[in-house]
Amino acid sequence: MIFLERAVLRLAMYLPMPAPKNTLDRMCAAHRGKGVHVAPNVAINCLDMKRVRIEDHCSLGLSVWIRCKSIEMHQNAKIAGGVFVYGEESVSIGQNAYIGHNVLLDCWDHVALEDSVQIACEAMIWTHDSSHH
């Protein structure tokens, strides 16, 4: 079943229209609210797609890549293009938070961005030492 979910997500990544993307995400049990904008070439590859929660009026920019345990985006959260979220823990992004272009979130520990937080372009946030443990 996991293989089928991954194949469906890869297909959704290249669809330019939001309606088929929403359908494919929901097939994998991801929750997406109303008015969510997902640009082309966005990949969300979480360990358990039931733990992907994107609330109303959020947006994900071009070429965003998310691979972590789970992600939660609260209302009006925005992720600009080229953002890379990677690790083995969860990420929570508060209401009206903004992550700038080409940001790296390396989440080997839980990352929680509070409401109205802004991260500048090309910032890097590391949550571990070089050992990954």
Domain count, the chain: 1
pLDDT string in tens for the chain (133-residue length)? 556 666 665 666 555 555 555 555 554 557 788 888 888 888 888 877 778 889 999 999 999 999 988 899 999 999 999 999 998 889 999 999 999 999 999 888 889 999 999 999 999 998 876 665 5
Return the amino acid letter for 119. Answer: I
DSSP 19-52: HHHHHHHHHTT-EE-TT-EE-TT-EE--S-GGGE
CATH number at residue 117: 2.160.10.10
- Is residue 8 domain-resident? yes
Amino acid at 81: G
Whether 131 maps to a domain, the answer reads no
Which helix H or strand E contains 3, and what residues bound it?
A: helix 2-13
Residue the block writes with tokens 């990544």: 13
Is residue 132 a part of any domain in this protein?
A: no
Q: Is the pTM of this model over 0.85?
A: no
Domain of 37? Answer: 2-126
